[in-house]
A and B are shown apart, each in its own frame.
Chain A
Amino acid sequence: MRERLSFYIKRDSVLHRLNPLTKLTLTMALILIAFLSPWYWTPHFILLAAVLPLSFAGRVFPEFIKTALRLILPAATFLFLMQAIFQPVGETVIFKFYFLDVTRESLMFAFRNATRIFVMVSSFTLFLLTTHPSELMSDLSRRGLPGQFAYVIISTLQILPQIQAKAQTIIAAQRSRGLDTESTFFKRAGAIVPLVGPLVFGSFIEVEERAIAIEARGFTSKNLKTSLQEIADPSFERTVRWVLILLIIISALLNLWPS
């Protein structure tokens, strides 16, 4: 269990100062182009020429590498091995292992897929490292995202540690009363209800109180709300966003082009 629920690291950098929507568009563009572009080396190129330099620009390179490797390396390695071994494509056999053939084609296929996944997860990680969730939400609600969505995202990130702590308390309490959570399969399966029950009941009781509390603060009011924090959005960033969207469209079209 992690003690911190957001990846965000507070630093002063070009990337931190960008408008959250620009960063979101950039992230989506990197991922979509990596997946859509028909050229074989695109994902590798994006990883080396865009994601890594951006992590330097954001001054979060050490944290970025650490988080990215912790999150993706196990998954990407597993994915690579599984696909290289089991993907039944291609003729050029490189080596045989009992009934399994590892071919040149399946290796290439696996390498590109693993890199695509790496681009996807690492660019999201970079986005989350340099953007505070509440900054993103207030910018998006200023642009017309209903306030309820912002409420759900932000309050979930706040409630989650509380619910996890409650779950730990319930596990400890039930164990101290002699609940068997470690022996045979049926005993462990039987322990679900006494553990999950109190957690869900307790949380449901809270709902009504919270509903009254936020209703009293004008939650469903239709009036425009003012924001305490102004988020800059210079016009050149708007141009950057349009260019990125154009790039996505171009790579999608290239992908559809009959080759």
Chain B
Amino acid sequence: MLEKIKSNFNTQTWVLIPIAIGLNIAVGQIVLVLKLPVFLDSIGTVMVGVLCGPWAGALTGALSNVIWGIAFDPGAFPWWPVAFFIGYMAGRMANWGFFKSWWRVVVTGFVIALTAAIVSTPISVYLFGGITASGSSFITAYLMQTGQGVLQAVLSTGFLTEPVDKITTAMLAFAIILGLPKRTISGYPNAKNVETQTESKTELYIALGVVVLLILFAVFLLQGMIASLSG
């Protein structure tokens, strides 16, 4: 275990982490300028997770929130476990080979989104009573008014709002890593995670199947919500 954690960290990893945290914040601000409905503020975390390993990604995420707390808003501190698991999950999925082609990256983004929603739920419920100071709390509040429990309402809100952001983040990270010269990447512990494969016919069918399943899942979720709203 300890050996596995250590294998994520070489000098290049330690140098990349501060830069990745900086990128999280700077990219978040660029997106703010563009007025897009996403945050993309975990792109650096995802890249460290993919290139260096799950534990390096987790550390980047957690420290990213600590830095955000020190430099901008101390209210960011309690959310560090969410960023921790975003980085961890990105690294885990990449280790399982889910960062090698576009459809696999979409799956990774989706899994990261589910993880983020699940981890943020208890924090939101126990610290804020379910309703936080973010805009998506209007959805939570609405669900609670319709008679859903706090836990269920917060979790549904997370499942609704997270996937768009996290899938975009994963796709953008993938596009950037593809564009980086091989020589730059080769120094990181898990550089082999991003060696892209050429897709065979069967792969493409699996890809289509996965995408269809994801869409079905989203529709199912929405339907469940509509049913719970009207019922």
- Interchain CA distance A66-B100 in the complex, whole Å: 49
CB–CB B172/A192 < 8 A:
yes
**Interface 1/0s, chain B 45-85, versus A by CB < 8 A?**
00100000000000000010011011111110110000000
Residues of the A chain whose Cβ atoms lie less than 8 Å from the Cβ of B2: none
Q: Which residue of A lies closest to B143 (CB)?
A: A86
The residues in B between 6 and 39 inclusive whose CB is less than 8 angstroms from any CB of A are 9, 11-12, 14-19, 21-23, 25-27, 29-31, 33-36
The answer on a CB contact under 8 Å between A125 and B129 is no
Q: Of residues A88, A100, A124, A196, which shows the largest number of chain B Cβ atoms within 10 Å of its Cβ?
A: A196
Q: By the criterion CB–CB under 8 Å, are B34 and A156 in contact? A: no
Most chain A CB neighbours (cut-off 10 Å) among B18, B31, B35, B36: B18
| Separation of A244 and B4 alpha carbons in the complex (Å) | 36
Q: B128 at the A/B interface (Cβ < 8 Å)? A: yes
The distance in angstroms between the C-alpha atoms of A189 and B147, with both chains bound, is 37
Question: B129, A201: Cβ atoms under 8 Å?
Answer: no
Partner of A196, one of B19, B27, B129, B145: B27
Interfacial residues of chain B within 176-200, with CB under 8 A of chain A in the complex: 176, 179-180, 184, 187
Report which of A188, A200, A210 forms a contact with B15, defined as CB distance below 8 A.
Answer: A210
The 8 A CB mask of B150-194 against A (1 = contact, 0 = none) is: 000000000000000000000010011001100010010000000
Which of B12, B47, B75, B187 makes the CB contact (< 8 A) with A75?
B75
The majority secondary structure among interface residues of chain A is: helix
Q: Does B93 contact A (CB under 8 A)?
A: no
- A104 beta carbon closer than 8 Å to chain B: no
Q: Does A173 have its Cβ within 8 Å of any Cβ on chain B? A: no
Smallest Cβ distance from B64 to chain A, in angstroms? 8
Q: Interface majority SS on B: helix, strand, loop or mixed? A: helix
Q: Is A247's CB within 8 Å of the partner chain B?
A: no
List the one stretch of A49-57, A214-222, A228-236 in contact with chain B. A214-222
The answer to whether A171 touches B22 (Cβ under 8 A) is no
Contact present for B26 and A152 (CB under 8 Å): no
Chain A: interface residue total (CB-CB under 8 A): 72
Nearest residue, chain A, Cβ from B51: A204
Taking the complex as formed, is A197 at the interface, i.e. its CB lies under 8 A from any CB of chain B? yes
Bound Cα distance A215, B13 (Å) = 12
Contact with B along A160-176 (1 / 0, CB 8 A): 10111011000100000
Number of interface residues of B (CB under 8 A): 56
Question: Which residues from A are CB-within-8-Å of B72?
Answer: 2
The answer to whether B131 touches A159 (Cβ under 8 A) is no
What is the distance, in angstroms, from B127's C-beta to the closest C-beta of chain A?
7
CB nearest neighbor in B for A147: B14
Q: Which residue of the partner chain, among A2, A156, A196, contacts B21 with CB atoms under 8 Å? A: A156
Chain A contact residues, CB within 8 Å of chain B: 1-2, 5-7, 35, 71-72, 74-76, 78-79, 82-83, 85-88, 99-100, 109, 113, 116-117, 120-121, 124-125, 128, 133, 148-149, 151-153, 155-157, 159-160, 162-164, 166-167, 171, 181, 185, 188-189, 191-193, 195-197, 199-201, 203-208, 210-211, 214-215, 219-220
Having A162-B22, A164-B22, A207-B12, one finds 6 other A-B pairs with CB under 8 Å, namely: A76-B133, A88-B147, A117-B75, A156-B18, A166-B26, A211-B12
User: Could you pull out 24 A-B pairs where Cβ atoms are within 8 angstroms?
Assistant: A2-B72, A6-B70, A87-B131, A99-B145, A117-B75, A121-B75, A151-B18, A153-B66, A155-B18, A160-B25, A162-B22, A163-B23, A188-B35, A195-B30, A199-B23, A199-B26, A199-B30, A204-B180, A207-B184, A208-B12, A208-B187, A210-B15, A214-B11, A220-B11
